[in-house]
Amino acid sequence: MAPDERSLELFADPTPAPAAAPGAPLADRMRPRSFDELVGQTALAAPGSPLRSWVEADALPSLILWGPPGTGKTTLARLLAHTGSARLEELSAVVSGVKDIRSAVDTARAERRRGVRSLLFIDEIHRLNRAQQDVLLPHVESGTVTLIGATTENPSFEVNAPLLSRCRVLVLEPLGTEELARLLDRALADTKRGLGDHALALEDAAREAIAANSDGDARRALGLLEAAASLHQQNGTGGPIPVATVRDAAGRRMLRHDRDREDHYNVTSAFIKSIRASDPDAALYYLARMLEAGEDPLFVARRLLIAASEDVGNADPNALTLATQTFLAVERIGLPEGRIPLAQATTYLACAPKSNASYAALGQAQQLVAETGSLAVPMHLRNAPTKLMSSLGYGSGYEYAHNAEDGFVAARNLPDELGDATLYHPGEAGAEAKIATRLREWRQRREAARRSEPDPSE
């Protein structure tokens, strides 16, 4: 048989995966039984892809399947097991512990002596703690089991580095609207596993609404279709399922977001970077994403406080005042009204002139301290609360700035070893432009005063 023919035969899967029980949810009943039925993730199984090559060679490595819910991680694991010559054992990290893992490994070891390879599929693998993951490591390394872990979280953060290094990571993408629409039409037409016996159809707008409301999640799309179909039959109105019925079945849309995992950090990052990029429209969108997903409004207010100093700074000193008042307002009134000052502060910061000069200057100062250590403070700046300290020269030569004609003193205040180091470089945007002008003049006067000092060596 030619290689291409073998490839087609493997992925057509003449021995389909077991079907779900008739009473199972529609999403489970419609789970693909072969690669031919798989919708989405076409790049993973495309000719010449690593996954396809591994399957064709019957040499599947340990894998981490990373992707959002409903993108086919469990389905793909089951198809890989039934396509190749290995047996599949499934565990859920939510309910499984070290005892379950060791039992699975013992079974795999016994099967290996019979010449049978074992795939150990662990759903939600990110929920295994470090010790549980360490139990897996030697058995994955020795090949006793081929691990297939599924996770919705970034494996870089959630999977032990030694275990992750022994696995290939495959990224599954959310399904597109056309792919979801194809799944919906297939479920409506399938008389054995789907809703084909009910002679149902979807209005085009209803199909689009389900796809749009599913966030690329096939399970959610099929669940919503099942709920809308049930509601439509109860209403007894006949005809295609209308978009209004889909909306009733959907209720409030729940967004993918939580407070300590990747979606949280991605949306927060997008919010801050949109403010920094002076894009109020994008910033408001990500603000809405966070609020609709249930983010703590004080967390958002704290991020605005940071942005006011880090990204706006002295280009608009009022930004920090507004951000502080926003935090206090949100703290006092909460939601839903707190969203109003959050929106005001977001748009103000996004539209304000930008400068990170103060923030950058502090970074340079910290680097300078790290490189030079604790240099002696010049004598004229030292405090002299006792006669002894005064007699030793503490505070000698200090000039009180408010006694100067324009409040400027030309004395050098950095430690002598640092000379005329400059750290703060104000920009030319907004109020900071005036600061830049004033500071240039002061630095020139300080330099002129230094040049006029007598040379100590003479």
CATH of the domain at 189: 1.10.8.60
- CB-CB contact of 62 with 168 (8 Å): yes
Q: Would residue 225 count as lying in a domain?
A: yes
Residues of the domain holding 427: 380-452
* Domain final residue pick, 121, 137, 171: 171
Domain identity same for 44 and 150: yes
Domain identity same for 57 and 129: yes
* Domain final residue pick, 171, 199, 228: 171
| 286 bridge partner residues | none
CA–CA separation, 273 and 295 (whole Å): 18
CA–CA separation, 55 and 66 (whole Å): 19
Q: Would residue 415 count as lying in a domain?
A: yes
Q: Helices 297-307 and 339-351 meet at what angle, rounded to 10?
A: 20
Domain identity same for 243 and 284: no
Q: Would residue 361 count as lying in a domain?
A: no
What angle is formed at CA 456 by the lines to CA 454 and CA 458, rounded to 5 degrees? 85
Domain identity same for 153 and 184: no
Domain identity same for 37 and 112: yes
DSSP string, 331-399: HHH-TTTTHHHHHHHHHHHHHS----HHHHHHHHHHHHHHHH-SPPPPGGGS---SHHHHHTTTTTT--
Q: Would you state the structure tokens that stand for residue 264, as one six-digit string? A: 């949280």
Average pLDDT, the chain: 84
| 92 bridge partner residues | 123
CA–CA separation, 134 and 442 (whole Å): 62
Strand order of the sheet with strand 168-171? 87-92, 118-123, 146-151, 63-66, 168-171
CA–CA separation, 112 and 288 (whole Å): 53
Q: Would residue 257 count as lying in a domain?
A: no
Q: Would you state the structure tokens that stand for residue 4, as one six-digit string? A: 């291409």
For residue 418, give the CATH number of its domain: 1.10.3710
Domain identity same for 217 and 347: no
Domain identity same for 343 and 388: no
- Phi/psi region, residue 359 (left: phi>0; alpha: psi -120 to 50; beta: rest), is alpha
Alpha helices, H only, 277-338: 280-292, 297-307, 318-333
Q: Would residue 100 count as lying in a domain?
A: yes
* Beta strands in 218-317, from DSSP E residues, in sequence order: none
Domain identity same for 157 and 181: no
CA–CA separation, 369 and 362 (whole Å): 10
CA–CA separation, 304 and 320 (whole Å): 9
CA–CA separation, 2 and 418 (whole Å): 75
Domain identity same for 160 and 299: no
Specify the number of domains making up the chain: 4
Cis peptide before 138 (omega within 30 of 0): no
The closest alpha carbon to 290, from 256, 261, 262, 336, belongs to: 256
* Domain final residue pick, 171, 205, 225: 171
CA–CA separation, 108 and 102 (whole Å): 10
For residue 52, give the CATH number of its domain: 3.40.50.300
* pLDDT tens sequence for the chain (458 residues): 344 443 434 444 444 455 555 578 998 899 888 777 888 888 887 777 888 788 877 788 999 999 888 888 888 888 887 766 778 888 988 888 888 999 999 999 998 888 888 889 999 998 888 888 988 899 999 889 999 999 988 888 888 888 999 999 999 988 988 899 999 999 999 988 899 888 899 988 889 888 888 888 999 999 999 999 998 988 877 789 988 888 888 875 555 555 455 577 888 899 999 999 999 999 999 999 888 877 889 999 999 999 999 999 999 999 999 999 999 999 999 888 999 999 999 999 999 999 999 989 988 888 888 888 888 888 887 888 888 888 888 888 888 888 888 888 788 878 888 887 888 888 888 888 888 888 888 888 888 877 777 665 55
Q: Would residue 85 count as lying in a domain?
A: yes
Domain identity same for 229 and 285: no
* SS3 (DSSP) at 329: helix
Domain identity same for 74 and 154: yes
pTM of the full predicted structure?
0.59
DSSP string, 215-239: TT-HHHHHHHHHHHHHHHHHHT--S
Domain identity same for 210 and 242: yes
CA–CA separation, 400 and 50 (whole Å): 73
Phi, psi for 130 (deg, rounded to 5): -60, -40
Q: Would residue 370 count as lying in a domain?
A: no
Sign, CA torsion 152/155/160/162: positive
Residue 329's CB is within 10 A of a number of other CB atoms, namely 18
Q: Helices 280-292 and 297-307 meet at what angle, rounded to 10?
A: 150
Q: Render pLDDT for 79-90 as a digit per residue (tens, 0 to 9).
A: 887 766 778 888
Query: What is the separation, in whole angstroms, between the first and last Cα of the chain?
Result: 97
Q: Would residue 344 count as lying in a domain?
A: yes
